[in-house]
Chain A
Amino acid sequence: MKKSIACVLACLPLMACVTGTIVEPEICAPISLGTFPGSPIAISNPPPISYSINEDFSSTISKIKQVADGMAVSVSSLDLTSSSSLGFVSDLVVYVQPTDLSQPRALLASYQSTVATGDGGTMLGGDLAVTVEMDSETLLAYLSVPVVLTFSVVATEAPTTTTMLNANFCVAASASITKKL
């Protein structure tokens, strides 16, 4: 009897474990892209303009990986924003590529306007929600190293004034944790 109790008590520390999930609700990169040139006279189909920005999510992701495993990331929001109207934007494509060129440039997200040409000009202020095209696993592989984000903006008609463009790129991460002592 005594031996059984002693055995159970001795085994308790061996069974000690922690299991669960850790959630990082958002890691956000506020991005200032630059300006889209305006034109006082109507110009149809101006050339697309690309903006490239370096971002580094890797240090934050590695910190989560240190305490957890089975990590997954997702884009919680990716928006093109401006204090002016973004009605002139007909297409937006966002690419991602590691700065060390270890992987090829890949499509991260895209946006295509459904507003008829000219109608979007009535929009006051702008916030275009972009559709994410990359799966979680690939996204994690890319964001585990510093990357270059390239925003390619296509307009069907140039805006009448120069427009300041910003973007907000937010990533959410979740990871499982299993630690046995």
Chain B
Amino acid sequence: MKKWMLLAVGMVCISVPEMAMADPVRVGFSSDLGLPSGYAVGVVVHPGLDVFSVSGSLTYNALNFGGRLSLKFDPMALAPRLPFGIFLDAQGGFAAAGNVPGHSSDMPSLGYDYANLYGGFRFGRMNGFHWNIEVGPSYLVAQTGNFQSVIGNSGGLKVGNPSANLWITPTFETGFEVSW
């Protein structure tokens, strides 16, 4: 335990002289995979302060495309030479309504909005290539469509499309990010 603490303190000491009072604006890109967002590729911007980053991503969840915005707080970015870090990531996104391929007539469509509140680990320096693993709860508002097709001919009943508000714990996301 002491070894780990000494190592951490040592690395911070090495990094402190490089701490920037005003960081340059950094731009990069990211790619990750997770639930409920699916596969995502996006643009990352560090707006002149390395501890914060904003990213916008295009997502695909096998049913349809969507989008996601992310605001990340990485306090360990104050020590830019540290090859690891922990961070908080607040995300909001949507997945447009889509059908399981080949089942548009016999299965309902599904679309959803979601918010993720993640805590994560960063492996690699913040201002270069690094891999992230994020875990946390998700709040999901799902809306189905074409639900009548699932019920079938139920004696002339007209069935509306169900919706759901769900907390899912945990969900995850993992992928890389590169910024310059």
A26 to B161, CA, bound (A): 8
Residues on the A chain within 8 Å of B165, using CB:
20-21, 23
A18 to B157, CA, bound (A): 30
* Interface residues contributed by chain A, number (CB under 8 Å): 26
Given contacts A30-B156, A55-B155, A59-B151, contact A17 B163 (CB under 8 A): no
Q: How far is the CB of A93 from the nearest CB of chain B, in Å?
A: 23
Complex interface bits, A38-73 against B, C-beta within 8 A gives 1, otherwise 0: 000000000000000001110110011000000000
Complex interface bits, B121-164 against A, C-beta within 8 A gives 1, otherwise 0: 00000000000000100001000000000110011111111111
B24 at interface, CB cutoff 8 A: no
- Candidates A18, A21, A30, A60; contact of B154 at CB < 8 Å: A60
Residues on the A chain within 8 Å of B160, using CB:
24-28
CB-based contact B1/A24 at 8 Å:
no
Given contacts A59-B151, A60-B154, A63-B151, contact A18 B167 (CB under 8 A): yes
CB-based contact A60/B166 at 8 Å:
no
CB-based contact A177/B166 at 8 Å:
yes
CB-based contact A56/B170 at 8 Å:
no
Classify chain B's interface size: 20 to 34
Residue of A nearest to B4 (CB): A1
Q: How far is the CB of B170 from the nearest CB of chain A, in Å?
A: 6
Residues on the A chain within 8 Å of B150, using CB:
63
CB-based contact A22/B163 at 8 Å:
yes
CB-based contact A20/B167 at 8 Å:
yes
- Candidates B140, B155, B161, B168; contact of A25 at CB < 8 Å: B161
A29 at interface, CB cutoff 8 A: yes
- Candidates A19, A25, A28; contact of B157 at CB < 8 Å: A28
Known: A26-B160, A27-B158, A57-B157. 6 other contacts (CB 8 A): A15-B169, A25-B163, A27-B160, A28-B158, A55-B155, A60-B151
Closest CB pairs A-B (n = 5): A20-B166, A25-B160, A26-B160, A28-B158, A22-B164
Sampled A-B contacts (9; CB under 8 Å):
A18-B168, A24-B162, A25-B160, A26-B158, A27-B158, A27-B160, A28-B159, A29-B157, A56-B157
B-binding residues in A (CB < 8 A): 1, 12, 15-30, 55-57, 59-60, 63-64, 177
